[in-house]
Chains A and B, each alone.
Chain A
Amino acid sequence: MAISESKTPEKKVRMKRSIIDCDVHHLAPVSAIKDNLPRFYRDQIDLWGWRLPGPIYLNGGVQGLTVDSTPPDGSNPTGGRGDMEYLRTQHMDPFNVEYGILTGSDYSFQASPDPDYAAALCSALNDYTIEHWTSKDSRLKGSAFIAKQDPLLAAKEIDRIGSHPDMVQVIVASGAEKPYGNRFYHPIYEACVRHNLPFNIHVLTEGLGINTGPTGAGYVTYYPEYRAARPQVMMAHLASFIFEGVFEKFPTLKVVLQEAGAFWIAPFLWKLDADWKSLRFQTPWVKKAPSEYFRSNVRVTSQPIEAPPSTELFQQMMKAVYADECMMYCSDFPHWDFDSPLLTFPKLDDATWERIFYQNAADLYELPARRIEQGGTQV
């Protein structure tokens, strides 16, 4: 037997049971897909550059990444050491990730005013993800980017790529021109329902390009403010889905709220329920209390989970956001605010752990039960 030499020392597997990680950022920058674009856009890029809105004001870590994700040779970590080898040795293997849902690394096209260009970039990126990532490791599943700027083009892309077995959801940035419940977007949801794909809203591009400002009070100066504003944007999307009647029109549609935190949802649902009691007759197509729609149609990923001052409060907040039914673990690897599956949560009871670290995601993305050697039942 040949002894293979590994550049990166293998981390010992520490997770006894395998997990599903719902937010793994893989290296998929638009710069990698130029050759896959139509000639017209290649010519434009040669003449005028990428003409995409720039990144957010600031970030944490080293250009947004964990310090240990900087390559040993010190080369530029932009885009992350999200390469396949790094992902496997530093994350998938040590944390026993049974499935990782890939969420890309460049969302700039989500803020572009040119819907045709955005759609071309999305198609090329989706093909790139399948060719260079999901087809090379069966643990990896992809998210299909769409040009939400033009819902008909977006639906076309969902119809093109949505039935590929490695594409498990549709993904957009939370930065938008209108909140996502608006009827403008409904062709996207028709396509999601057609292909039985969840619609994932991942934070990014708020306040950039064509998208509205990052807060209702205007533009913020520093990155902590920007992070603090993310739940505001997600709140607007969540209320919009409910009160525009999206879940009545598309009862099987599932929406995932990603990376805006989770515990803000509790008082927000209390508020929505209270207001629905008072204002039911203004939107009579909303048949159930908003919290009921949340439970049936919305899922939230955990990272970056808020840190209540005591374990007792943490458990209460988990209950208040229906975590057993609605929360799915994610790490945000390799970003600097990575949540370790080992230490981020206080000790959870076994059933709750199982729902959050595996089963809720397996149900949503229709992934198999964990294999028997991973502590599961599937042979």
Chain B
Amino acid sequence: MNRFLVGMASEIPEGSKKIIQAEGRSVGIYNIEGQYYALRNTCPHQGAELCSGITASYITSNGPGDFAYEREGELVRCPWHQWEFDIKTGCMITDPKMRTKTYDVTVERYDVSVEENQLYVHI
């Protein structure tokens, strides 16, 4: 498994993402409440750049007219057909068997002199 430098942690504040190239693959790195998650930037449906889609919450309901927002910012909707994927697992919401690849992300704190942490994605 190789590790690839994503950049400084400060480049991806909470609720945002960064898309990088690693070993010829496009990968989206998300910061959800201080934790980092990496998703293959490819929708398993028709190959759109998944991570360029809208970051969204999971909307649930008890019936027509009722809308509840759960898991703030934990879903990505594909830019083409708006299929929803769980950023933490890569699984599609309506059909969890359909998934995009996920990767581990680590934070390395060696560049302390400038108080910058470096993110690595493991592919």
Contact = CB atoms under 8 A, between A and B. Distances in A.
Interface stretch (A77-85, A226-234, A281-289): A281-289
A278 B59 contact: no
Identify whether the interface residues of B are mostly helix, strand, loop, or mixed: loop
Interface in A242-258: 244-245, 248-249
Interface string B54-93: 0010111111101110000000010001111000000011
Contact of A248 (B58, B63, B81, B95): B63
A277 interface: yes
A249 B64 CA distance: 9
B94 interface: yes
Contacts of A285: 61-64, 66
A279 interface: yes
B60 A284 contact: yes
A276 B66 contact: no
A3 to B, nearest CB: 66
A280 B61 contact: no
A199 to B, nearest CB: 19
B23 to A, nearest CB: 30
B61 A278 contact: no
Q: From B59, B62, B64, name the one whose CB has the most chain A CB atoms within 10 angstroms.
A: B64
Contacts of A248: 63
Interface in B36-63: 56, 58-63
Nearest to B81: A278
A276 B92 CA distance: 13
Contacts of A279: 82
B63 A249 contact: yes
B63 A280 contact: no
B94 A276 contact: yes
B94 A280 contact: yes
Interface residues of A, number: 15
A281 B85 CA distance: 12
A286 to B, nearest CB: 9
Contacts of B92: 277
A183 interface: yes
B63 A278 contact: no
Interface string B83-111: 11000000011110000000000000000
A245 B67 CA distance: 13
Interface in A160-193: 183
Contact of A278 (B62, B82, B95): B82
A245 B82 contact: no
Contact of B84 (A183, A280, A283, A289): A280
B64 A277 contact: no
Contacts of B77: 281
Contact of B67 (A244, A276, A278, A284): A284
Contacts of A183: 64
Q: Taking each of A244, A276, A278, A283, which has the highest tally of chain B beta carbons within 10 Å of its own beta carbon?
A: A278
A113 B94 CA distance: 43
Contacts of B95: 277
B74 to A, nearest CB: 13
11 contacts: A183-B64, A248-B63, A277-B95, A278-B82, A279-B82, A281-B56, A281-B58, A281-B77, A281-B84, A284-B60, A285-B64
Given A280-B93, A285-B66, 10 more contacts: A245-B64, A248-B63, A277-B92, A277-B94, A280-B94, A281-B56, A281-B59, A281-B77, A284-B67, A285-B61
